Structure 1
């Protein structure tokens, strides 16, 4: 018997818009040609990447980091990502005087591009309290229906280095990558990782081969369905 599933976008939409949602509002996630809409599964922990930062402005390196982490974390069941731009007040405090500052709404729109993504959503709630209310409500509403959600922080190497260690936040799980810029904790020769101050030694993540195979088969089946709709003569 298959475990119950649900559409993460529907939970997110209800939590974000509440009773105010209408067909004219943007969807949280859209069906895409390469990724299905994020699906919650009741038989596992459903992880969502949380990528926060100034993004003044967002650039290709930001997108490359998020995409790389998303596409290489399927073994821990990452199903989607949320992007949280820093609010205008904190951006003002962080950036030097005289440097051009894009407003919160401008940075949101630059991230969004031409419309919703099939696997990430840019949160347009500017205050910390509004974001945390959304986060808590999303976790609780999913839990009521038997789905476990966990947020995982995405960090660039500027938040984890050999001098300062790791810039921990309120989340318990973090993923850091050097795909967009070099990291000083990655050895220049070989594939070894240097010990970060204040952290336990690096460990190899055990991969559930059966789960990874199931995930790959599900993605292949989805792509075949999409291909049959777009190019039926090929299949």
Structure 2
């Protein structure tokens, strides 16, 4: 039995993944943005080991989530699932001076990764829209660019792949991969999404727990249990390091060299 922590697991694909993992006999620690959502999540999945709380748009609260998680013990796998979509009509600034979408989708996974003991496996939930992400990594926080929610989301999903691949390179004892659930009908995906919702959560569960040789790899990008096309720039060590360096500057936390 494995212990798995899933961020953003109070609803949607995170909750679906948690249900499946529990059915498979694993121990699951969930995460919700606030106590009200956490209580709702406990009612939905009372068999979960715990539900941690914290708003990942806040560096302070993200640090608290890491502290809460570390207090429960080491995890076999961490699934970085929490994200917001592309519908923000304007650039919203957090208490830390970060663009809201960038803080949650890009910075929070980095900060949690840096602050938690390395698990055996890391899964970063990205998107096919990472192919439209800006590989220049200029103006990550949208300080100068005219705001585009769609582009900001695409950029953040590229950041998830860069982080997954950087970890795979730097931590050889950890299986670190990125994946896309496809365009599915969740709150984020919307009612027009055309992919199979019932398939959306399976790859993250598979990467977190399966002994299938196809799943026990690192530095790969998956869609529906198969390796998929990735933006070539995501495989460039220089691009990975540029993103890591930016996150270190923003958070003040250095990513350890090895697990």
With the length of structure 1 as denominator, give the TM-score of the two structures.
0.35
| Larger strand fraction of residues | 1
Larger radius of gyration: 1
| Larger helix fraction of residues | 2
With the length of structure 2 as denominator, give the TM-score of the two structures.
0.32
